[in-house]
Each structure stands twice: as structure tokens, then as C-alpha cells.
Amino acid sequence: MWGLVESLPLLVTISLFLETALAKPFVHLVYKQNDTCMDFNAAPAWFGPPVPVTGLKGYLLETVPANACHPIKAAPVSNRTPSGFVALIRLYDCSFNLKVFHAQEAGYRAAIIYNLCSDFLVNMAISMEERRLPIVIPSMFIGRTASKLLRRQVHSAKDAQIMVVVPQSYYNSCLDETYAALWELVVYDLPIWPGYCTQQLFLKILKEFGLLISLSMGISFLVLVSWAKWGRSNQGIRVKTFKHGDRYDTCVICMAEYEAGDRLKVLPCAHIFHATCINTWLLIQPVADKTCPICKQKVHSAI
């Protein structure tokens, strides 16, 4: 117990180090429609307002033109969609802030720019000269895989609603209620739970090596159980050599007196016999009912 307490400062130090080393601002995109639920990391832009702490919701639409380097088609106006629309924009051909500005001017409440070539999350930064465009909506960047899945949903679903959630208030809504409750317990009720970047590192390791870790833990468990059974089977049975002056003198199994140098066995109940005699006695008894010849106390022994 004290070892665990003493190791807590080390665990906290490692967690803080990982938070610093891995720290990169990001938010979560969650798409949930009927039986389909997807969850992606997204890197927020380094310009414009941040995503609200409470997050935001909106219906996802691809812009026309797709790169949003020119004024784009306006977002639909409908009383059915009070949460508004989020623009899905292709990377390249012009600056980030110009893309976001065109989405803003077209009535979108947020913009998502996606990578065409990889899942690398680009830091969306702009120069001082580019800051002349007033940006009043949040924007973020996602990878190629996330964009392909989201675009597929946009094309197949009539209303593709997306949620943007900041890490501090995040739990994976794609989990069922049992896992969601467990996540909330772990994140909010454990004072030494590591920060979010550390959690993501652990989750990545589990994802990459989960099967190997599970097999290793299973093998270790079997070895531990076998060792424990072996230990129990020999617990309390001691071997000693008889010498003159010992307070016991006769083996009750063979009724012969002990002689100097005889090999004896002491059972957990403290009764003593010739080693060969007690071994024979235990061998002829049922496996589950091995007992001491004198007091009938059970004896767990692997002979």
C-alpha cells in the first residue's frame, strides 16, 4: 500500500510530462444518426473565436465550390434546423481564413476544413496580413479518413447533424449507457486520473497492442493461479530431520520410534510423521479428502 502511495508523485509527474509533450489543442466531432455513430479528433484554428465550452451543433453541408476560395452557395434557411449549418470545405487553393470568411458570409455557423492526402491535423494559422478579414465563426481541421466518412454520410443522409465538443466536457456519446457511466466515473470522480492527452496516448497504445496486452495478461494470470495453487498445496508442510532430544518419538502410522537422521514431515496441524509414511497415507486418500491421521484436519498436499 505504501509503495502505491509513494509512487503517486511519479505517476503525476509522468502524466504532466505527457500533457506538455503531447499537448495540441483539439476538439471532437461527433456524428450520430440512427445506428451510425462516429467520433473524430479535430484541430481548432488559431484564428477566429474558439469553440464554445458548451460545444455547438449544426447540420453538415459540403460547400459549392468545394474549396470555398470564392463566395459559396448560401446555407439553407429553414425553421426545421434552428441549430444552423456547418460548412465542410476542401483544403488547398487559398488561405484558411478566406475559406472560413466565405463560409461565414454564406450564413454558416462554423467551418470544417479537411485534408485531402492524409490524416495529419494541420495547424490552421494565418499571417498578420491575412488578419484583415474579420472572422466571427469557429473553424477546425480534420483528416482525410474523417472527411471521407462524413462526406459519405452527408450524401446519404437527408439531415447530417454534427456535434463539436471540447475535451473538458467530452465523453464519447457513441458508447452505450454502461460505458458512458463508467467513463464519467473515471474522468470526473478519480482525482489522480491523467489529463486528456495522456488518456489519448493510453488509448492509442491499447488500440495498437490491445491483443498482445490481453494475451500477456491472460498468460500472466494463468501462471499466477498455478503458482498460487502450488503454494497452497505445500503451505505449512515442513520437512525436518529427527535428532535426539526432540519432544516427539513415535510415528503413529508405522508405530516405529524415530531414530537420529530420520526424515520427518510436519503437517500444518503440527503433527509429525515419517516422510515416507505420511506420503503413502496421503497418496491412498481421495484427492479432495486428504486429512491428518490423528486430528483429521484437511491437508492440501501435492506429493
**pLDDT, tens digit, 9 for 90 and up, residues 237-278:** 888 999 888 888 889 999 999 999 999 998 888 899 999 999
Query: Residue 51: is its pLDDT beyond 80?
Result: yes
Domain boundary (146, 167, 188) is at 167
> Considering its fold, how many domains does the chain have in total?
2
Say whether 39 sits in a helix, a strand or coil. strand
Q: Please check whether residues 245 and 147 belong to one and the same domain.
A: no
Q: Write down the pLDDT at residue 212.
A: 82
Residue of 141 and 206 predicted with greater confidence? 141
Residue 290 lies in a domain: no
Dihedral over Cα of 90, 95, 96, 99: its sign: negative
Q: Please check whether residues 60 and 148 belong to one and the same domain.
A: yes
Per the structure, the complete domain to which residue 262 belongs is given by 234-284
Portion of the chain with pLDDT greater than 90, in percent: 25
- What's the chain's average pLDDT? 78
Domain boundary (142, 167, 192) is at 167
Which CATH number goes with the domain that contains 99?
3.50.30.30
Residue 15 lies in a domain: no
Mean pLDDT of 93-98: 92
Alpha helix segments (H runs only) across the chain: 2-22, 96-105, 144-156, 177-189, 196-233, 275-283
Residue 58 lies in a domain: yes
Q: Write down the pLDDT at residue 113.
A: 95
Residue 150 lies in a domain: yes
The pair phi, psi for residue 14, each rounded to 5°, is -60, -45
Q: Please check whether residues 35 and 153 belong to one and the same domain.
A: yes
Domain boundary (152, 167, 182) is at 167
Closest of 45, 55, 79, 35 to residue 163, by C-alpha: 55
Residue 202 lies in a domain: no
Residue 121 burial by CB count (10 A; 0-12/13-18/19+): exposed, middle or buried?
buried
Mean pLDDT of 43-52: 89
